[in-house]
Amino acid sequence: MSAVARTLIKDGTVVTAVDTYRSDVWIENGVITALAHPSQRAAFGQPDVTIDAAGKYVLPGGIDVHTHLDMPFGGTTSSDDFETGTIAAAHGGTTTLVDFAIQQKGTALRTGLDAWHQKAEGKAAIDYGFHMITTDVNDGTLAEMGQLVNEGITSFKLFMAYPGVLYVDDGQIFRAMQRARDLGALICMHAENGIALDVLIAQALARGETAPKFHSLTRPQIAEAEGTHRALCLAEMADCPVYIVHLSAPRALEKVLEARDRGQAAFAETCPQYLFCSFDDLARDDFEGAKYVCTPPLRPKEMQADLWRGLKTNDLQVVSTDHCPFCFKGQKDLGRESFAKIPNGMPGIETRLYLLWDGGVRTGRISMNRFVEITATAPAKIFGLYPHKGTVAVGADADLLVWDGDKEHTLDHANMHMRVDYSPYEGKTVHGAPTHVLSRGKVVVEDGRFVGRSGDGRFVKRSTFALT
Ligand code: URP
Ligand code: ZN
Ligand code: ZN
C-alpha cells in the first residue's frame, strides 16, 4: 500500500486524551484530512483503501520516549538494533520512539549523534528522534547543545548514577541546566546517588552478596529520592524544565509531586516493569532474577500502588519503556559471579501498550483517555512532537492504531518480535492489541504481520520545550 493512497478507517471509535466518539478517519498523503461521522461518508467520495474498524478503537500510535537500541553498555550491546527494535515497537502499537544517543567521554556530542544517525538510517521502520546523553559538560559541549537543538535534538539526559561511565557531577549538571534553559531544551535526569550506591555495592560484594537480588538491596529507594530531590532543586535554581526518567520509588514521586505543586516545570515517567514486576522477580532462584536487573531496580510489590495513583492523578505524566534488552544467554550471564556485572536493562518496547491496556484500562485503574494521554499525547507534548504526533486530529500525521480491546494473547518471547531470548512476562495472558498499525498513513502491521519496510522510518526534528 502506498503512503499517498487515500485511506478510510471506517466505523471505529476514536479515542484521544480528552474525547471518545464514533468517527470515520480520512487519510491522504500520510496525514489525517477529515474526521467525520459515518453518516457523512458519501460526501467524501471513494477511498483507495478501506480499513474496517467497526467494534474497535482508533487511537494515536504510541510514543515511546525512552529506548536504548544498539547501545554499548555493561560490557556488551543492547540486543535490539534499529531494525528489530522498531519492528517490535510497531507490533506493539508504538509508531514513534525517541532513543538516547550517547556522547562517549572525551569526544564531541556531534560524534555521538552522528553514530546514532548511522545506526538508525535505513533501518528504522517507524519514525524516531534522539535525546543526547551528555557525559562531559564543558565549554565545547555547552556550545554544541545549541547546534543540536537547531537540529531537533531538544532534550539532554544526564546521569547522577554510573560513576566513571555516564556520571556527571552537580556542577556539570547545573551548567547544562542553565544552558538548556537558555535554549528552551529539556533536561532528562537519571536521578540516583550513584556515588553512595557504589559504596553499598562494594560493601555487599565484600560480604559475598553476589546474587541478582542484591542489585535492588544496594540501591535503596532513598538514593532515588535524594537524586530526584537534588535534580529538582538544581533545575529550580537554573530555572530549567526537568524530566525524571524511569521513576520507580514512591519517595522519589513525593519529591516530584511537591515540586509540581509549587508550580515547577517538573515531569516524570515510570515504566511498565515498575508497575508489573517487583523485587520478588529479582529474587527468583537459579540466576533467573538476572532477567529483571534494571536501574533503578525493581521495588517491593507494595510500592506499585503509589505509582498507579501517580499515573491517575498526573503526578506521573508518562509511561515509557526504558527498553534496554540483553539476552539471558551470553549477556545477562556475564554477571553470574557478581550482580554488579549483570548488564542493566529489560526488554519492553513491544509490550507497553498491552500491559497498560490490560492491567490499567481493563482493571479500571485508568480510563482509555488517560491511557492515550500517558502513552502518546503527554510524551508528544513534553518532547516537542505535538501536534504532528500524539493525537488523532485533522492535520496530524496518520500514525494510528486500530485497536481491538478484547484480543487475547500471551506475552511469551516466542510470540513476540524483540531480539531477546526471554520475556519478563512469560506465560502472562493479556487482552488488547492492534489489528492495524499505521505509520504516516501506511499500514505497517496488519493482524500481527509486519507489512512495513525497514528504512521507511524518518528522523523527526523535535521542537523546543513549550509546555507551561
Ligand atoms: O537499566 C537500565 N535502565 N538500563 C538503561 C540505562 C538507563 O539508565 O536508562
Ligand atoms: Zn537511566
Ligand atoms: Zn534508560
How do residues 398-415 score in pLDDT, each as one tens digit?
A: 999 999 999 999 999 999
Enter the C-alpha cell of residue 15: 479515542
Q: Residues of the chain with pLDDT > 90: what percent?
A: 99
Bridge partner list, 433 = 404
How do residues 357-390 score in pLDDT, each as one tens digit?
A: 999 999 999 999 999 999 999 999 999 999 999 9
Instruction: Assess whether the C-beta atom of 366 lies below 6 angstroms from ligand 1.
Output: no
Q: Is the pLDDT of residue 266 over 90?
A: yes
Q: Which atom of ligand 1 is nearest to the CA of 159?
A: 8
Would the pTM count as exceeding 0.85? Answer: yes
How do residues 63-104 score in pLDDT, each as one tens digit?
A: 999 999 999 999 999 999 999 999 999 999 999 999 999 999
CA dihedral 267, 273, 279, 281 (to 10 degrees): -170
* Ligand 2 centroid, distance to 252 Cα (angstroms): 14
Enter the C-alpha cell of residue 409: 494473547
Instruction: Assess whether the C-beta atom of 294 lies below 6 angstroms from ligand 1.
Output: yes
Could you tell me the CA-to-CA distances from 73 to 99, 162, 447 in Å, in that order?
14, 11, 35
Q: Is the pLDDT of residue 325 over 90?
A: yes
Counting ligand 1 atoms within 8 A of each CB, the residue from 80, 247, 324 with the most, and so the one to mutate, is: 324
CB 312 within 8 A of CB 365: yes
Q: In the structure, what pLDDT confidence band is assigned to residue 467 with cuts at 50, 70 and 90?
A: confident
* CA atoms of 252 and 299, how far apart (whole Å): 12
CA dihedral 193, 199, 205, 209 (to 10 degrees): -60
* Ligand 2 centroid, distance to 280 Cα (angstroms): 22
* DSSP type of residue 114: H
Mean pLDDT of the region 186-191: 98
CB 65 within 8 A of CB 327: no
Q: Is the pLDDT of residue 468 over 80?
A: no
* Ligand 2 centroid, distance to 244 Cα (angstroms): 9
* Ligand 3 centroid, distance to 68 Cα (angstroms): 6
Let me know the angle formed at the C-alpha of 463 by 459 and 467, rounded to the nearest 5 degrees. 140
Bridge partner list, 439 = 442
Mean pLDDT of the region 351-357: 98
Q: Is the pLDDT of residue 3 over 80?
A: no
Mean pLDDT of the region 280-293: 98
Instruction: Assess whether the C-beta atom of 388 lies below 6 angstroms from ligand 1.
Output: no
Instruction: Assess whether the C-beta atom of 320 lies below 6 angstroms from ligand 1.
Output: no
Q: Whose CA is nearest to atom 2 of ligand 1?
A: 345
DSSP reduced 3-state for 277: coil
CB 14 within 8 A of CB 403: no
Residue for grid cell 477529515: 34
* Ligand 2 centroid, distance to 227 Cα (angstroms): 12
* CA atoms of 266 and 264, how far apart (whole Å): 5
How do residues 99-157 score in pLDDT, each as one tens digit?
A: 999 999 999 999 999 999 999 999 999 999 999 999 999 999 999 999 999 999 999 99
Q: Is the pLDDT of residue 9 over 80?
A: yes
Rg of the chain on CA atoms, in Å: 21
Q: Whose CA is nearest to atom 7 of ligand 1?
A: 295
Q: Whose CA is nearest to atom 4 of ligand 1?
A: 345
